[in-house]
């Protein structure tokens, strides 16, 4: 057989249910039907029901086949996944909604995450499959979502959308930096220089990798290597990314930081970065109780204080950071004050101040 | 494959409890058939006990003729868990919008059950289908079966990463352009750039159909294409009145919270001063069906978003305020613009410097000049507020 290359992905039209093919670009409106279920109505009058279910992202082929069984039974063999890794079942038959939800819940996949709710946590690989992880991803996500499940399923109401994301190191392949709540794995120990560094890495590359010039060439026992100016290290791990001989992971010092108030949507306020709320929480597997409690506390502040459809960052801008820190019971510290490239922009440069 | 060695996993077993679906159950399900998945449980339990990861830096592995798509992964406990000593990831370019038939998904499952751990991510952070864990000798077999099924590898390393998009016109009335078509066409136009890393660093592209940006294009993509419109918000006064009758406080919840205060509500009729509207979507989100994006729809093209490594996080900023991507000439302009950007960045960019960082380092004005775009006021939040101008004319004299 001829070896095929550069064929690209299958064309998406092959995978669209007939109702979508027919009404492509001709949808009129959509609305919630019940938690986790929405209906899209086309100009033609056709209706498409979407049932959204929780998924752990890490899926066995066995589970994917179970999803397929359900899609064959209720959705004529069509399904999709969302940008937040939920699974969605698509059907034109309203009568299929109830039995499908019952089967999904029996399979351990609760339905929810549509509209005003807390949806799935976008996350990274963690200790399951990554070399640079400062924490596990799946374990924290599972623990946090077990705790917040009622906000996903709609059993508890929330004022609007709240997006949580987790990245297990500063590389942020989960790009958590614009999330309502971000959980970020952090290292807190400068890299250790391994003895065989010069055999594994190019020293000029390693030196150039450091954004704070904390790495300089050195000679040890007559061998070329590097030395680390430890006070200048802010643990970005960029040097480790270019050179495996500079490991940073540390069982006791690694952990998690919590960030709040970011968003990507342009609705009402412009997109915003998440800001530091808690500089450090320990890695405490298997359930990271400190992280779970902190996230819950922040969620509850938002649920209590946000106006309808007000995002976390908008709420904090309105009530002021001093009040947020007071409500959250978080001690404001030196770590909260930026000292990197755009630091000056983050200082309060006005006499307009929320009195705390 | 036979069932693998069983490991005691008391810590991971804790994570089988609770209402949220459990990744541990998934690994255990795969371990019924895959010794690799069984060994993964052992190594992961050890990580949970020691609070540290046990994967080494990636090595260079792949399929013949491709430089990306496979990430080498090796355990640092290979002697103890030999089944995962080599545990490579394969990235597979997902279909635009993440729609599937069960037939296609079952085909993928069959390949991965035979040639890998049986564990996947649906999906990875960039959007790819992720096959987690196999050995080097299986890569070509997986690749050949994938292509027979009509799938191909995605990007990894310093190349164009797999483009991704929201479901756009397939299932959203707010889509201002055909995101899935643009995503597919860009993916097909740049197969070489996706499969053979030749850039200073990664280059991501994401297409969102409206300013709600469900794929986080403005935060996560070097090239962000976000749908918008030029004309007036479409409004249905009857339906707006219905929202009010059903209890929505339009004055307080919508009008007074509009970011440009471009609307008035007299208790019966909503009047929008569209000239001041910035197309943020807030009112449309709040009153679906009663309000809708305008009819003259298109997209905005933005450049440069990235996570913090290394000079700090950036959001994408405006390159082209409005483009009609249905128009063939505009489509060719977009492709040409990409080629121009890559040419300049490949020539002058430093190793591991994302294009957004590069543009700021050389000066955004200089960058625009190099890629052949005229500066416009839409590109800035405000003009410079410092007087340190590199006046070109003075230097020439």
The answer to whether A5 contacts B288, with C-beta atoms less than 8 Å apart, is no
Q: Is residue A172 situated within a structural domain?
A: no
- Asked if B246 and B312 count as a contact pair (C-beta separation under 8 A), the reply is no
Q: Which residue of A has its CA nearest to B285?
A: A267
Phi then psi dihedrals of residue A31, to 5 deg:
-155, 160
Taking the Cβ of residue A192 and every Cβ of chain B, the question of whether any pair is shorter than 8 Å is answered with: no
Q: Is residue A181 situated within a structural domain?
A: no
Domain residue extents for chain B: 10-149, 164-229+297-394, 234-292
Query: pLDDT tens digits, residue range B205-250?
Result: 999 999 999 999 999 999 999 999 999 999 999 999 999 999 999 9
- Asked if residue A86 and residue A28 are part of one domain, the reply reads yes
- Asked if residue A151 and residue A279 are part of one domain, the reply reads yes
- Asked if residue A342 and residue A301 are part of one domain, the reply reads yes
Q: Is the pLDDT of residue B3 over 80?
A: no
* pLDDT for B71: 96
Q: Is the pLDDT of residue B397 over 90?
A: no
Give how many domains chain A has, as a whole number: 3
Pull the structure tokens for residue A51.
């049932």
Q: Is residue A185 situated within a structural domain?
A: no
- Asked if residue A258 and residue A154 are part of one domain, the reply reads yes
Query: pLDDT tens digits, residue range B33-81?
Result: 999 999 999 999 999 999 999 999 877 899 999 999 999 999 999 999 9
Host domain of residue A66: 12-106
Q: What is the CATH number of the domain that holds A30?
A: 3.30.70.3340
* pLDDT for B1: 46
Mean pLDDT on A255-276? 98
Alpha-carbon distances of B50 from A256, B290, B384, rounded to whole Å: 16, 56, 51
Q: Tokens 């409004």 belong to which residue?
A: B235
Determine if the pTM surpasses 0.90. Answer: yes
What is the C-alpha separation between A40 and A90, in angstroms, rounded?
Answer: 10
Please report, rounded to a whole number, the percentage of residues in chain B having pLDDT higher than 70. Answer: 98
Q: Cβ–Cβ contacts within 10 Å for residue A356, how many?
A: 11
The answer to whether domain B10-149 and domain B234-292 are alike in fold is yes
Pull the structure tokens for residue A42.
């086309």
Pull the structure tokens for residue A192.
């250790």
Alpha-carbon distances of B47 from A127, A240, B86, B227, rounded to whole Å: 7, 20, 17, 44
Collect all residues of chain B within an 8 Å Cβ-Cβ radius of residue A127.
44, 47-48, 52-55
Query: pLDDT tens digits, residue range B6-17?
Result: 999 999 999 999
Task: Spell out the alpha helix ranges (H) of chain B.
Answer: 10-14, 23-31, 35-50, 102-115, 139-149, 168-171, 179-189, 191-195, 217-220, 237-245, 282-286, 328-348, 355-362, 364-371, 392-396
What is the C-alpha separation between A138 and B11, in angstroms, rounded?
Answer: 13
Q: Is residue A356 situated within a structural domain?
A: no
Pull the structure tokens for residue A330.
């978080």
CB-nearest partner of A244 from B57, B66, B195: B57
Q: Is residue A48 situated within a structural domain?
A: yes
Taking the Cβ of residue A106 and every Cβ of chain B, the question of whether any pair is shorter than 8 Å is answered with: no
Instruction: For the domain made up of B164-229+297-394, give the CATH fold.
Output: Sulfite Reductase Hemoprotein; domain 1 (3.30.413)
Q: Which of A208, A242, A276 is where one domain is finished?
A: A242
Q: What is the CATH number of the domain that holds A285?
A: 3.30.413.10
What is the C-alpha separation between A223 and B14, in angstroms, rounded?
Answer: 48
What is the C-alpha separation between B125 and A167, in angstroms, rounded?
Answer: 10
Q: Which CATH architecture has domain B234-292?
A: 2-Layer Sandwich (3.30)
Q: What is the CATH number of the domain that holds A237?
A: 3.30.70.20
Question: What's the pLDDT band for B396 if we cut at 50, 70, 90?
Answer: low
- Asked if B345 and A301 count as a contact pair (C-beta separation under 8 A), the reply is no
- Across chain B, mean pLDDT equals 96
- Across chain A, mean pLDDT equals 96
Q: Fill in the DSSP letter of residue A205.
A: H
- Work out the minimum CA distance from A245 to partner chain B, whole angstroms: 10
- Asked if residue A317 and residue A268 are part of one domain, the reply reads yes
The residue among A61, A90, A120 with the most chain B CBs within 10 A of its CB, best to mutate, is A61
- Asked if residue A262 and residue A156 are part of one domain, the reply reads yes
What is the C-alpha separation between B218 and B144, in angstroms, rounded?
Answer: 35
Please report, rounded to a whole number, the percentage of residues in chain B having pLDDT higher than 90. Answer: 94
Q: Is residue A131 situated within a structural domain?
A: no
Closest of B277, B123, B292, B115 to residue B210, by C-alpha = B292
The answer to whether A149 contacts B19, with C-beta atoms less than 8 Å apart, is yes
What is the C-alpha separation between A28 and A17, in angstroms, rounded?
Answer: 18
Q: Is residue A335 situated within a structural domain?
A: yes
Task: Sort residue A208 into left (φ over 0), alpha (ψ -120 to 50) or beta.
Answer: alpha
Q: Is the pLDDT of residue A20 over 60?
A: yes
CB-nearest partner of B219 from A177, A249, A250: A177
Query: pLDDT tens digits, residue range A127-169?
Result: 999 999 999 999 999 999 999 999 999 999 999 999 999 999 9
Taking the Cβ of residue B122 and every Cβ of chain A, the question of whether any pair is shorter than 8 Å is answered with: yes
Alpha-carbon distances of A255 from A141, A285, A297, B169, rounded to whole Å: 15, 11, 19, 42
Q: Is the pLDDT of residue B311 over 50?
A: yes
- Asked if residue A281 and residue A207 are part of one domain, the reply reads no
Q: Is the pLDDT of residue B393 over 80?
A: no
* pLDDT for B60: 85
- Asked if B199 and B342 count as a contact pair (C-beta separation under 8 A), the reply is yes
- Which CATH entry fits the domain spanning B10-149: 3.40.718.10, 3.30.70.2500, 3.30.450.70, 1.10.3720.10? 3.30.70.2500
Question: What's the pLDDT band for A355 if we cut at 50, 70, 90?
Answer: confident
Asked casually if ipTM beats, i.e. exceeds, 0.90, the reply is yes
- Asked if A159 and B85 count as a contact pair (C-beta separation under 8 A), the reply is no
Taking the Cβ of residue A64 and every Cβ of chain B, the question of whether any pair is shorter than 8 Å is answered with: yes
Task: Spell out the alpha helix ranges (H) of chain A.
Answer: 18-23, 61-74, 97-106, 138-153, 197-200, 203-209, 238-242, 289-305, 312-319, 321-328
């Amino acid at each position: 057989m001829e070896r095929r290359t550069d064929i690209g992905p299958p064309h998406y039209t092959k995978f669209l249910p007939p109702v979508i093919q027919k009404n492509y670009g001709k949808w009129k409106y959509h609305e919630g039907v019940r938690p986790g279920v929405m209906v899209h109505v086309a100009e033609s009058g056709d209706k498409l029901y979407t049932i959204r279910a929780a998924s752990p992202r890490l899926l066995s082929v066995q589970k994917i086949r179970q999803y397929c069984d359900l899609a064959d039974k209720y959705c004529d063999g069509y399904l999709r996944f969302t940008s937040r890794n939920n699974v969605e079942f698509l059907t034109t038959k309203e009568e299929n909604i109830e039995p499908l939800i019952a089967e999904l819940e029996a399979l351990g996949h609760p339905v929810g995450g549509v509209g005003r709710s807390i949806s799935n946590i976008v996350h990274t690989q963690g200790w399951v499959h990554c070399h640079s992880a400062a924490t596990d991803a799946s374990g924290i996500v599972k623990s946090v979502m077990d705790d917040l499940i009622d906000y996903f399923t709609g059993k508890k109401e929330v004022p609007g959308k709240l997006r949580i994301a987790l990245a297990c190191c500063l590389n942020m392949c989960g790009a958590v930096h614009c999330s309502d709540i971000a959980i970020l794995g952090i290292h807190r120990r400068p890299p250790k220089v391994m003895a065989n560094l010069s055999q594994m890495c190019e020293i000029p590359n390693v030196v150039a990798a450091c954004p704070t010039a904390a790495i300089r060439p050195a000679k040890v026992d007559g061998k070329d290597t590097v030395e680390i100016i430890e006070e200048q290290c802010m643990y970005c791990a960029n040097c480790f990314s270019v050179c495996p001989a500079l490991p940073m992971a540390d069982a006791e010092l690694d952990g998690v930081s919590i960030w709040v108030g970011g968003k990507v949507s342009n609705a009402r306020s412009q997109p915003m970065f998440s800001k530091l709320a808690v500089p450090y929480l320990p890695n405490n597997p298997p359930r990271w109780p400190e992280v779970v409690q902190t996230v819950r506390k922040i969620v509850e502040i938002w649920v209590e204080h946000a106006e309808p459809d007000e995002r976390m960052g908008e709420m904090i801008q309105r009530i002021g950071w001093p009040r947020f820190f007071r409500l959250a019971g978080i001690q404001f510290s030196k770590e909260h004050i930026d000292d990197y490239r755009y630091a000056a922009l983050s200082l309060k440069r006005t006499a307009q101040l929320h009195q705390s | 494959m036979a069932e693998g060695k069983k490991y005691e996993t008391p810590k991971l077993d804790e994570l089988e409890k609770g209402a949220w679906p459990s990744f541990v159950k998934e690994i255990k399900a795969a371990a019924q058939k895959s010794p690799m998945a069984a060994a993964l449980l052992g190594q992961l339990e050890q990580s949970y006990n020691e609070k540290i990861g046990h994967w080494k830096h990636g090595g260079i592995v792949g399929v013949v003729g491709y430089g990306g798509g496979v990430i080498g992964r090796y355990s640092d406990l290979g002697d103890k868990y030999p089944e995962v000593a080599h545990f490579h990831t394969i990235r597979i370019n997902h279909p635009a919008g993440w729609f599937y038939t069960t037939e296609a998904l079952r085909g993928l499952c069959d390949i991965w059950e035979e040639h890998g751990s049986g564990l996947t991510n649906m999906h990875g952070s960039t959007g790819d289908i992720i096959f987690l864990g196999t050995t080097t000798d299986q890569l070509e077999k997986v690749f050949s079966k994938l292509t027979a099924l009509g799938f191909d590898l995605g990007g990894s390393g310093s190349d164009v990463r797999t483009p991704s998009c929201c479901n756009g016109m397939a299932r959203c009335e707010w889509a201002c352009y055909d995101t899935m078509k643009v995503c597919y066409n860009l993916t097909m136009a740049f197969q070489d750039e996706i499969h053979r890393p030749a850039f200073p660093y990664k280059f991501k592209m994401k297409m969102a159909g409206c300013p709600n940006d469900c794929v986080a294009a403005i935060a996560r993509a070097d090239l962000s294409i976000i749908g918008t419109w030029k004309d007036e918000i479409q409004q249905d006064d009857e339906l707006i009145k219905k929202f009010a009758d059903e209890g929505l406080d339009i004055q307080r919840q919508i009008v007074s919270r509009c970011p440009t205060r471009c609307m008035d509500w007299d208790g019966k009729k909503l009047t929008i001063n569209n000239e001041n509207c910035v197309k943020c979507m807030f009112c449309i989100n709040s009153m679906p069906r009663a309000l809708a994006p305008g009819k003259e729809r298109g997209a905005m093209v933005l450049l440069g978003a990235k996570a913090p490594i290394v000079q700090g996080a950036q959001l994408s900023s405006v390159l082209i305020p409005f483009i009609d991507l249905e128009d063939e000439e505009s489509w060719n302009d977009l492709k040409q613009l990409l080629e121009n950007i890559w040419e300049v960045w490949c020539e002058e960019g430093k190793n591991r410097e994302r294009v957004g960082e590069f543009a700021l380092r050389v000066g955004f004005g200089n960058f625009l000049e190099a890629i052949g775009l005229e500066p416009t006021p839409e590109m800035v939040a405000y003009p410079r507020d410092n007087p340190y101008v590199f006046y070109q004319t003075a230097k020439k004299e």
